[in-house]
Structure 1
Amino acid sequence: MKQQYQQFEQLLQAFLPAEQIISDPLRTLAYGTDASFYRLIPQLVLRPETEQDVAQIVKLAQQQNIPVTFRAAGTSLSGQAITDSVLIQLRDGWRSYSVNEDASQISLQPGVIGGQANKALAPFNKKIGPDPASINTAMIGGIAANNASGMCCGTAQNSYRTLHSMKLVLADGTLLDTGDTQSAAKFRNSHKGLLTALESLALQTRSNENLRQRIEHKYRLKNTTGYALNSLVDYEDPIEIMKHLMIGSEGTLGFISEITYNTVDEHPNKASALIFFPTVRTTCEAVAILKQTPVSAVEMMDRAGLRSIENKAGMPDFIKQLPDDAAALLVETRSGCPDHLAQQVDAIKASIAALETVQPVEFTTDPAEYSKYWAIRKGLFPAVGAMRETGTTVIIEDVAFPVPQLAEAVHDLHQIFEKWHYDEALIFGHALEGNLHFVFTQSFDSQAETDRYEGLMDDVANMVVDKYDGSLKAEHGTGRNMAPYVEKEWGSEAYALMWEIKELFDPNNILNPGVLLNRNAHVHLENLKPLPAADPLVDKCIECGFCEPTCPSRDLTLTPRQRIVIWREIARLEASGEDSQRLAELRKEYLYQGIDTCAACGLCSTTCPVGINTGDLTRSVRSRNNENHTKLAQWLAEHYGGVMKVSKAAFMGADLTHAVIGSKAMSAICDTTRKISGGRVQKWTPSMPKAAPKINTQRPVTNPDAPKVVYLPSCASRAMGPARGDEDQTSLADKTEQLLRKAGFEVIYPDNLDQLCCGMPFQSKGMFDAADFKASETDTMLLAATQNGEYPVLSDTSPCSLRLKDNTDQRLRLLDTVEFIHEYLLDRLVITPAKETVALHITCSTTRMGVADKLKQIVEACVTDVVIPEDITCCGFAGDKGFSTPELNESALRTLKPAVAGCKTGYSTSRTCEIGLSHHSGIDYKSIIYLLDRVSQPKLSNQDTTPENKLIQAHTPDQ
């Protein structure tokens, strides 16, 4: 078997670059993991960039009889995107899209994230129909291949119903564009046998009255169990049948290389209400009534679900007193007109006025308020994941019932949970469609636990199918999880028809075999994923992959999910004592893949359902690896002023050499030296800063009545000046002081400034004691300078601001540049917007502090046009990683240059980030302080607009 894959790999090398063929044990495990509770490790992971490459791979796989599986984001829950053979993974080459003139259609490659598609359509008040909860992570290829729906799309706006055309790669490697008449005509000639057989199947199905009625009956509900047999009833043209069969086929019939959707309206006016009912029955009665009203979404939460979030911040106290049978509905209605929206709200409230509710029904149109409601609903799944015992997995199932029988179905599910002792299980879902999700925790560490799970699933299948004739999978796809139950749900005749379809499209069974259709009655109990205890920092990870789009190393090495996967495997091997050689190899490879190339930026925590910051794990491992350097770190911390002098001297020396020999020679010499040294010499680029001049901290007071601010320039600002060739050669510290004085402030510097540091350089390397020492030292100096918090503190570098906020006295009102400008400077300056287009980089720290929107508002007030590159999250410079591991910075910013091609300048809030941004964009990036200073003038009477007491009153700025 191994020899077969080695031969296959050699043949692939004829047309795929080496970096697109992955076979090492660490990455095949990491890249092969998805969000399901199954694990298979691929022999090869391939990353082709074009549909021609995919076609060649599939042709070769046919010749060698090697199965292939297609993978988009890997957020699928039912085991449909894993394999122990060849995994074809979508990366950069699959992210193009185009919107037609009136935005009625959007064409998307399969690697486009669903949320990005909606961002492209937002200016037109349009969106794609499917709206899965994972839309900000899930890619279009997976959304279409699973016929994923969501909270608002129902059955009318899913991929099947909004499909216009698609491009395909079939099992024999043939390319077909169903939207191109020439391609379609050519295909009709070359694949006449396939199309004739498909047409015959459709004719037989429509002629078979019992089967036709069965199909129509099954699709009265949301249903993704098995193939889309409704395509055989809904369409007569075999190409139309073919493309609709592809929807929900989970990569078992072909590869969707592009899909064109008919878009749907995204109404700008929305109103939501969270309505509590005393019983499930009353709740379900309300659902049946609301189905006849102008609602766009009705989400149900049972008492167990409400109990899981009742102690969270912001939850009303009365939730804790709800009766055991209570439930809630989250109702939303939308309209293009505010007046019409108000009428809809009145109609909805009137329709359920006769039903008993726990609290009065109140709708809100405030986005901040209804966003809280949706956060409650979306928090139910992760709430279970966060509470589960270490070593267990969290499973979410997905069934649908006729709405009139919803109350009885909920009761039956609760009875099954009680029978099998799933006491923590909770129910929520898209009640308007009768679609319910139930979530529970499960251990697979013993046969008894596996048997318990099997008993649960058998009982659920019997109840859903035999009693209600419902759907065992409404929107999560069949996968391996429900494949043994497809025949039970559909019956033998429809099941046989599905096998005919599979054999017609994929006669050699090489496309994702075993998924969707599987004659192994126990496939859902095999290849179960181990989730051993690895580290309390990450043990709650459910491997959903929501973190991945934010990670700067996602296309270089590993994502946060993948780092955790490998760390868990290392922990498992250590605990079991097995395969010491594999353990040693993983540990060695993980140093680079998992530790050295992790920016530890923490952005993963902002999208993680359970709030995990994988950077904390990275810093913890670095701390363990650097135990021998603890004393050195403490010495450096205690002599930080000297360290700063050495750093400035190094920048000064590098700049003098640069001035003498020029950029080209300097780059060549430094690159060669770095190569010879094995990467020990730091990376140099023409964007490298000069040494910053010493800050004059003893300027005379010119206006004793002026409001006071304590200014803390970061060590980066104190050491690094502008780059050689920058238009403005003023240092950031001088520019900031200049702007503050322009706005009428007296600027105070803390004592012993050269020695101060937030501790970030030490924390990032796992030197926690030294980091805390520096933060404590800075805290003491700031308290003294501010008169124990009487004056605000301006911190000019966002990463430092974030750390200081978490590690200084609560009396200090420490403000990041963004916060200080937004809170205090905008009102004290006259701004004349410059007529130019600039680029804006929002640092990871700015995002984590929750001030990204304020940063946008500041820059939008200063210029006529702002470009924020869509694919750029953290820049990957990560303090000094841009010098020591420059490939991380390069990978994170690989799409930056074309994105900012029309921009004159770029702005941000971190000096180190700006070095990498300048180098990889071709334009100069600098602090937003420079922009605001350039376009502003002082007001004649600052005191009239912003009284001094606004600065000295005790309050906590908005985060």
Structure 2
Amino acid sequence: MLQGAYREFHQRILETLPARRVFTDPLSTLAYGTDASCYRLTPKVVIKSESEDEVRAILREAASLQLPVTFRAAGTSLSGQAVSDSILVVASHGWKRLQVLDDGRAIRLQPGVIGAEANAALLPYGRKIGPDPATINSAMIGGIVNNNSSGMCCGTAQNSYRTLRSLRLLLADGTLLDTGDAASVAAFRTSHAGLLAQLAALRQRVLADDALAAKIARKYKMKNTTGYSLNALLDFADPVDMLAHLMVGSEGTLGFVAEVTYHTVEEHPHKASALVFYPDIQTACDAVQRLAQHKDVVSSAELLDRASLRSVENKAGVPEIIRTLGPDAAAILIETRAASADSLAANVAFIEQHIGDIATLDGIRFTSDAAEYTQFWNIRKGMFPSVGAMRAAETTVIIEDVAFPIEHLAEGTLKLQALFRQFGYHEAIIFGHALEGNLHFVFTPNFSGPAEIARYEAFLEAVCQLVAVEYEGALKAEHGTGRNMAPFVELEWGATAFRLMQEIKALFDPAGILNPDVIITADKQLHIRDLKPIPAANPLIDKCIECGFCEVMCPSRAITLTPRQRIVANREMAQLEKQGDSEQLAELRRAYQYAGDETCTTCGLCETACPVGINTGSLTSLLREAGQSDIGWATANTLASNFATAAAGARLGLKALDTLHAVAGDAATGAIMRGLRKVVGRKIPYWTPYFPRAAGKLQLATGQAHSQRQVVYLPSCLTRTFAPAGNMPDSRPLNEVVASVLGKAGYRLIYPDNLANLCCGTPFKSKGAADAAQQKVNEVEAALLAATENGRWPVIIDNGVCTAALLDGIHDPRLRILDVTTFVQEEAAQYLRFVPQDETVALHVVCSMKKKGQSASLNALARRCASKVIEPAGITCCGFAGDKGFSHPELNESALTGLQQQVAGCCGGFSTSATCEIGLSSHSGIPYQHLMVLVDKASQPLR
């Protein structure tokens, strides 16, 4: 229950924003109390904003009540800058606008655009944004700008500060400034003349202080995100330019960035990499110093210490030499890029000659083979998750980020290693962007008691003395100051520069309400307060490091909880249960039922983005299984044993609905079904004009009856139950379409016996009825062994979800199971002639097929059949999830946000699951059917 000023704020803000985007309940505030850092603060109010007017209203009401406000995008921040115990404003799902400008030479982005999405939009132009953080597939532009993120290749020349063209921002007083709009700038020069004059005065003070000016210039030759971007006072004479560049890296403490326009950089198509091993750190750093003099040739040089190499040495594909390295060895992963193959070869030759006289353990060998250099980079990217996966229970993974002057890189690295030994962090590893003197080190402290916290505090203070005092480096090179290094900003910069930063904060935020204590704090213990607990909850999720990489893949991310937030909630519930707090536990469990369970599709795509391989869908399935009642188990087992009867009952229900629809039409049918849902609830399916019709009696065409080419075909239960809606371009049952294609290719089709009773088990598994699911898998396995004559013939399935389920569930090596699309692309295509249709089509690869690595195969098959194929960006799992689209249509709608705009120019869409196609059709504005419909249309027998 909110009290005092927060209660008043909540009441006021509900007059402006819809209640569905304002949260004060314990589950939502807990879920948003976590970012990728080692801190947790639980906000009083969470607001999912969607417009500048909303943010202005939030700032106005918060200021009037003196309540702090923190902004957040993806929450992949590592230094605690995206958590708050006050008002947290989320600027992600409502902030997705993207516009490519000037033939790709610039791009305008809102804060909720993911970095990789921006690069995907620029790819056709051979361009990309300058910042390239390792989190680019998850991090959003709001965080990339506000942390001045860099990465492996961007260095100091292509970060947000250097590639900024203009900003659109809201100041704490609600004023909107668009630095790319002349009228906006002119109005601001009048309304905020005093602020601009004070910025100009700060610049004059810096220029008059030779020592301070020299220090600022020197520190920004390195990567440096500690404190505010004081280089803006040196680099620009116009106070508007100073203001814009001070906002970069300000972590939401000076204002709200509503939009950024970047100058883009060239994305060279030709790349080569070499993993070079050296006998020790000093020798490796000697090579780095030479490479750093030629950044026009060397795109990246990643330093890897022996401990980091040891963390991945037993993984598949890792070079054998790594296992044989001595205790002092190190490596550099070098990459060079060029516009042409000849230029690339020249770069490689230059690098080999330039560092060729420095002793190595295995020579210098570059490769331009994409598979080989990708393996090298996977080794580098796998180091952080390897430490996370191997850590002890209830420990925290921390990745720190410092920079040494390049000439002191070797000394700094060796002294860091000595500190690890001194403080007992023997699991710690070091790797980093060596061209910039930027090192990351990963270690796993335990914050379970005062002694461990004291050890961490002493270690961190020793690191700060080493980096900031002894070598005058940067305590934060690219991860942002946050709460983590705020107490040490003055130590790094000195009193004069720190006072300058305090004045900047006061100029922009005189009331001190914007993200207080981040960057500027008076609390010297801030970095050891509010440390995040990591209690053991379930072996399936205990390795989670709460980084948030999974969130971009989750279909429920914009409507309820993400995988990270589900894990946070389960950890909290496990802790409450351990403490015996039954009241809070019951409250969380009630809220979690809908937000955590009912709206989880269990698609498992989160696993594909998780650095430690966690499938939160598996946790949901396990919880559903544990929550099954005896009646639920009995019902599931009865349905499994009488599946043919149950399917026949479903067809009868569909026939009744078909009759109603034929008489009443779309509008009336929709109204009747909505009325029934209001009375009966979610057991009445949500109806749309794309609702399937009842399948008729299955016509089992055999294709070429006497062909030597034979295949066993298992039509899915959906194919046997559903027929396409009457408004679909092709109303044939799917099995007839498949038979048509394979008949043209000269195949004889064999069908398993007892077909009406066969099911892959997915409907039961998704509800937690594991025994019933296994029963159905066993039945299918037996039927397929018989039909294939113990594996003589391949098996094809016509639903991608069922294909994946049987690939996972059937382990008999005699059975070769393929999705029908894979079979056509890889085998049957040789017996077909394709005539690509002159049309643009949309393709949706269902989540199970994505997990099985089938996206490229489906895309290739679609491209055989149509002149242009579009795979909409940002659409992962469609959220229909078998029957979720019938029971929880809001999940399907949310997961497909933005689809209609992306497929507006398409004449049709294609996928590989009947239920997914229902939701895709409903939310795209175009009909979606099975990809085999397009294949049948575009293929002819090979004569």
Query: Which bin holds the TM-score, normalised by the shorter protein?
Result: over 0.9
Q: Quote the Cα distance in structure 2 between the aligned partners of 1:652 and 1:507.
A: 68
Partner of 2:278: 277
Deviation at residue 818 of structure 1 after TM alignment: 2.8
Letter in 1 for 2:189: R
SS of match in other structure, 1:29: helix
Correspondences of 1:395-410 after superposition (within 5 Å): 395-410=398-413
SS of match in other structure, 1:92: coil
Residues 115-145 of structure 1: CA deviation (Å, up to 9, x unaligned): 1111111111111100001111111111010
Partner of 1:516: 519
Residues 873-931 of structure 1: CA deviation (Å, up to 9, x unaligned): 11101011111111111111232222222222110011110111112223221111110
Partner of 1:946: none
Partner of 2:743: 741
Q: Quote the Cα distance in structure 2 between the aligned partners of 1:230 and 1:29.
A: 38
SS of match in other structure, 1:427: strand
Deviation at residue 701 of structure 1 after TM alignment: 6.3
Partner of 1:177: 178
Please list every run of 5 or more consecutive structure 1 residues that lacks an aligned counterpart in the other structure. 941-959
2:624 aligns with one of 618, 622, 625: 622
Letter in 1 for 2:115: G
SS of match in other structure, 2:214: helix
Contact persistence 1:840–1:907 (CA under 8 A): yes
Residues 467-494 of structure 1: CA deviation (Å, up to 9, x unaligned): 2111110000000000111111111111
* 1:881 has 2:884 as partner: yes
Partner of 1:604: 606
Contact persistence 1:818–1:851 (CA under 8 A): no
2:800 aligns with one of 780, 798, 801: 798
Contact persistence 1:30–1:562 (CA under 8 A): yes
Contact persistence 1:697–1:748 (CA under 8 A): no
* 1:507 has 2:506 as partner: no
RMSD (CA atoms): 1.3
Correspondences of 1:363-762 after superposition (within 5 Å): 363-578=366-581, 580-628=582-630, 629-697=632-700, 699=702, 702-704=705-707, 706-762=708-764
Residues 512-532 of structure 1: CA deviation (Å, up to 9, x unaligned): 000011111100000011111
SS of match in other structure, 1:94: coil
SS of match in other structure, 2:311: helix
Deviation at residue 584 of structure 1 after TM alignment: 0.8
Residues 595-624 of structure 1: CA deviation (Å, up to 9, x unaligned): 000011011011111111110011111111
Q: Quote the Cα distance in structure 1 between the aligned partners of 2:740 and 2:178.
A: 61
Q: Quote the Cα distance in structure 2 between the aligned partners of 1:154 and 1:631.
A: 62
Deviation at residue 655 of structure 1 after TM alignment: 1.2
Q: Quote the Cα distance in structure 2 between the aligned partners of 1:189 and 1:497.
A: 24
Partner of 1:196: 197
Q: Quote the Cα distance in structure 2 between the aligned partners of 1:206 and 1:59.
A: 36
Correspondences of 1:271-350 after superposition (within 5 Å): 271-293=272-294, 294-350=297-353
Q: Quote the Cα distance in structure 1 between the aligned partners of 2:456 and 2:578.
A: 26
Contact persistence 2:703–2:739 (CA under 8 A): no
Deviation at residue 697 of structure 1 after TM alignment: 4.3
Letter in 2 for 1:726: M
Residues 265-315 of structure 1: CA deviation (Å, up to 9, x unaligned): 100111111111121111111111222341101011111111111111111
SS of match in other structure, 1:830: strand
Partner of 2:941: 938
Q: Quote the Cα distance in structure 1 between the aligned partners of 2:210 and 2:838.
A: 68
Q: Quote the Cα distance in structure 1 between the aligned partners of 2:113 and 2:715.
A: 40
TM-score by length of 1: 0.96
SS of match in other structure, 2:824: helix
After superposing the two structures, state which structure 1 stretch, 894-903 or 451-460, moved more.
894-903
Q: Quote the Cα distance in structure 2 between the aligned partners of 1:698 and 1:13.
A: 60
Contact persistence 2:92–2:113 (CA under 8 A): no
Residues 761-798 of structure 1: CA deviation (Å, up to 9, x unaligned): 11111111111111111111112211222211111111
After superposing the two structures, state which structure 1 stretch, 450-459 or 179-188, moved more.
179-188
Q: Quote the Cα distance in structure 1 between the aligned partners of 2:269 and 2:704.
A: 52
Partner of 1:223: 224
Contact persistence 1:758–1:771 (CA under 8 A): yes
Q: Quote the Cα distance in structure 1 between the aligned partners of 2:673 and 2:419.
A: 68
Partner of 1:957: none
Contact persistence 1:775–1:807 (CA under 8 A): yes
Deviation at residue 700 of structure 1 after TM alignment: 8.7
Q: Quote the Cα distance in structure 2 between the aligned partners of 1:434 and 1:739.
A: 59
Deviation at residue 643 of structure 1 after TM alignment: 1.6
* 1:7 has 2:2 as partner: no
Contact persistence 1:126–1:263 (CA under 8 A): yes
Q: Quote the Cα distance in structure 1 between the aligned partners of 2:794 and 2:291.
A: 52
Contact persistence 1:655–1:724 (CA under 8 A): no
Partner of 1:35: 36
SS of match in other structure, 2:249: coil
Deviation at residue 459 of structure 1 after TM alignment: 0.8
Contact persistence 1:310–1:319 (CA under 8 A): yes
Letter in 2 for 1:141: G
Q: 1:280 to 1:818 in 2, by over 3 A?
A: farther
Q: Quote the Cα distance in structure 2 between the aligned partners of 1:426 and 1:790.
A: 51
Partner of 2:809: 807
Residues 190-248 of structure 1: CA deviation (Å, up to 9, x unaligned): 11111111110110111111111111121121110001111111111111111111111
After superposing the two structures, state which structure 1 stretch, 323-332 or 346-355, moved more.
346-355
Partner of 1:159: 160
TM-score by length of 2: 0.98
Letter in 1 for 2:61: L
Deviation at residue 102 of structure 1 after TM alignment: 2.5
Q: Quote the Cα distance in structure 1 between the aligned partners of 2:828 and 2:527.
A: 61
Q: Quote the Cα distance in structure 2 between the aligned partners of 1:900 and 1:121.
A: 18
Q: 1:847 to 1:662 in 2, by over 3 A?
A: same
After superposing the two structures, state which structure 1 stretch, 890-899 or 413-422, moved more.
890-899
Deviation at residue 111 of structure 1 after TM alignment: 1.1
Residues 430-478 of structure 1: CA deviation (Å, up to 9, x unaligned): 0111100000011100001000100110110111122211111000000
SS of match in other structure, 2:123: helix
Contact persistence 2:703–2:746 (CA under 8 A): no
Please list every run of 5 or more consecutive structure 2 residues that lacks an aligned counterpart in the other structure. none
Q: Quote the Cα distance in structure 1 between the aligned partners of 2:258 and 2:453.
A: 38
Q: Quote the Cα distance in structure 2 between the aligned partners of 1:517 and 1:699.
A: 74
Partner of 1:832: 835
SS of match in other structure, 1:161: helix
Partner of 1:952: none
Partner of 2:256: 255
Partner of 1:949: none
Partner of 1:943: none
Contact persistence 2:701–2:736 (CA under 8 A): no
Contact persistence 2:703–2:748 (CA under 8 A): no
SS of match in other structure, 2:439: strand
1:923 aligns with one of 923, 926, 933: 926
Contact persistence 2:398–2:444 (CA under 8 A): yes
Q: Quote the Cα distance in structure 2 between the aligned partners of 1:671 and 1:897.
A: 23
Deviation at residue 698 of structure 1 after TM alignment: 7.8
Residues 731-771 of structure 1: CA deviation (Å, up to 9, x unaligned): 00111112111101111111111111111111111111111
Q: 1:235 to 1:692 in 2, by over 3 A?
A: same
